[in-house]
Structure formats: C-alpha cells, structure tokens
Amino acid sequence: MTPLAPAQAEQEERRPFRSAPQPAAVRSRRRSRRPESSFTSRTAVTLVLLLATLYMILPVTWLLFASTKSAEQLYSSNVFSLTDVSLFENIADIAAQSDGVFFVWMGNSILYATVGAVVGGLVSVAAGYAFDKFRFRGRNKLFGFVLVGVLVPNTATVLPLYMLFSPLGLTNTMWAILLPALCNPFSVYLARIYSQAYIPDETLEAARVDGAGPIRSFFSLALPMISPGFITIALFQFVAVWNNYMLPLVMLTSERLFPVSLGMSLWQGYARGYPEFAPLVITGSLLSIIPLIIAFVLLQRYWRAGMTEGAVK
C-alpha cells in the first residue's frame, strides 16, 4: 500500500465520519417500527381529543334536548328524546314569567360583560403596555404587586369591595359590578406579555422621532399591533364578567339589576319547591350561553399571531 501524500492525507482527515453500513435486516426493522409508533401516538392523541370533545359537547346537547320538555317529561322521558313540547313554548313561558324579567337579566349581563370586556380590556392593555415600554422608578416592584393580585381569587375580594362601596352608596347599583370589571391583574400580566411579543421598540422609537407623543403612539401604533392580545383579553373579560356570581350576590338586592347568572340561581332555588320552574331554568341556561357562542364565533378570526413578525429587521 502506497502512503498518501500530505495534502491527500489532510483531506481524508477532514471528511466526516461515516458509520459502517448496517445490515438490511436492521434497516428494515427500524423502518417497520417508525410507522407503528407514529400510528400509536396519533391514536392516543385522537382518543384524548375525542374525550375532550365529548366532555364539552354532551352537556350542551343534553341542555338542548331538555329545554324541549315539560316539568313532567323532564324526569320521566329519555335524556335525548324529543317530546311534543317545543323549545319556543318554554321560551314563551320564560317571557311571561315576572313580566319578562329574564330578558332584563340578559340585558344586564350583556351590559356588564361588554363594558368589562371593552373598557376593562383597554385599561389592561394600556397598563401592560406601560409596564413593558416605560421606564420609571419602582416599575418591577409595582408589577410584582400585580402578580400577587393574580394569585388572589376573586371571591376573596368580594367582601373588601363591599366594605369600600357601601360608604360611597354604590351598592345595589350597576357601578358595583362595572367598576371591579375594569381592573383584572391577570389581564394586565397577559397584556405585558403581548406587548413584549408584538410591539418592537424600534417602531416606537421611530414614531417618537417623527414627533408622536406617548398617547398617540399607543393608539396609532401599539394598539393596532397588539389587537390579537386585546381581543383575547376582551374575551377573557367577557366570559369572566358573564359568569360572575359572588360579586352580584353580595352587591345587588334588586332583581331588576341581577345578571343572568344570579337570576338563574334564584329560579333554581324556586324549582326545589315548585317543579314548574325546572324547564324555565334549563331553557334559560340554554339561552344564556348564546351570547358567549356568538362572541367567540365573531371574534375568532381576529385571533391571529405574528402581525408584526418581520416588520423590523
């Protein structure tokens, strides 16, 4: 064997290491294992998703079928069977109950949830934007207090809020529900995360050079960039205010100010002694989820990410 030249030897050393060729049986065994493991993982994921879908759909399906039954048929017929009582008859009974107070409750819930979603979401986005982009003394400590507020459950703040609002004469008013909905620590935390991801510092610096102030920069540049985060926060706020129960229970005494969550609880208490209220509670519960479905369907197209990705190089 002739020795290699120095240049050829150096070239041979630089070549990447190649493993010895494997037998055909080993290669075929590895190829056969990959599809099997992939099929098993896909099957497991499909089963988990199927169970989660059934967990979410079955209660709504039962609610839809049960709202077409009378009080007697509700406990005597099959769960998913149709009866001669229609959904519209139960809705008519709801409208006739207490001069249509149910629709007053629905209007109150829509008002509380809409104001909490739009105004409260805007306040949270502005606060998160300020914590992210502005530099001021004590910023991190103040944001730490916000994070502590995330750990406190909402039910623990109901009595302190009542003690604050009672001397001001705000109890048993709409302000007792609207004002607490304007501030949500978790929404502020989420807004800061979105601000860090979607709003480049270079864009704000360019706007500042062009003469835009902080308020104009926020409404003209930052808010359109962070619109996916604003929609997400607004939906979280909408659902949280819509499902709020403890705060209206403590703050409100007039039935005309009740949200639909508290009104349904009131009728459910009546159903224990008067079974004819049971179809009203079930049908009212079905109607109460329609605004939530409409909100998610209309706003889901705004949930898009990466609006400013690649805008600044």
HEC assignment per residue over 191-228? HHHHHHHHCCHHHHHHHHHCCCCHHHHHHHHHHHHCHH
Please count the helices (runs of H) and the strands (runs of E) in the chain: 17, 0
Q: Report how many domains make up the chain.
A: 1
User: Is 44 part of any domain?
Assistant: no
* pLDDT score recorded for residue 139: 86
Phi, psi of 98 (to 5 degrees): 55, 45
DSSP-derived letter for residue 136 is -
Considering the chain, what percentage of its residues have pLDDT values greater than 90?
Answer: 33
User: Is 77 part of any domain?
Assistant: no
Q: Which of 89, 20, 30 is nearest to 279 (CA)?
A: 89
The stretch 195-209 carries a mean pLDDT of: 87
Burial of 245 (0-12, 13-18, 19+ CB in 10 A): middle
* pLDDT score recorded for residue 23: 55
Structure confidence at residue 129 as a pLDDT band (50, 70, 90): very high
Q: Which of 9, 96, 56 is nearest to 279 (CA)?
A: 96
User: Is 55 part of any domain?
Assistant: no
Q: Are 176 and 137 in contact (CB under 8 A)?
A: no
Burial of 131 (0-12, 13-18, 19+ CB in 10 A): buried
| CA 202 to chain CA centroid, nearest Å | 31
Chain-wide mean pLDDT for the chain?
82
For residue 72 the two structure tokens come to 């007697």
User: Is 69 part of any domain?
Assistant: no
* pLDDT score recorded for residue 309: 42
pTM value is 0.78
* pLDDT score recorded for residue 313: 40
Q: How far is CA 9 from CA 12, 19, 144, 254, in A?
A: 5, 19, 63, 94
Residue 50 predicted with pLDDT over 70:
yes
Domain limits for position 291: 87-302
User: Is 42 part of any domain?
Assistant: no
User: Is 31 part of any domain?
Assistant: no
Q: How far is CA 154 from CA 112, 140, 143, 238, 264, in A?
A: 16, 23, 19, 15, 21
Q: Which of 254, 281, 247 is nearest to 265 (CA)?
A: 281
User: Is 61 part of any domain?
Assistant: no
User: Is 72 part of any domain?
Assistant: no
Q: Which residue has the tokens 């986005």?
A: 125
CATH code: domain of residue 181: 1.10.3720.10
Query: When comparing pLDDT for 221 and 16, which is higher?
Result: 221
The stretch 15-22 carries a mean pLDDT of: 50
The stretch 60-81 carries a mean pLDDT of: 80
* pLDDT score recorded for residue 125: 93
Q: Are 124 and 184 in contact (CB under 8 A)?
A: yes
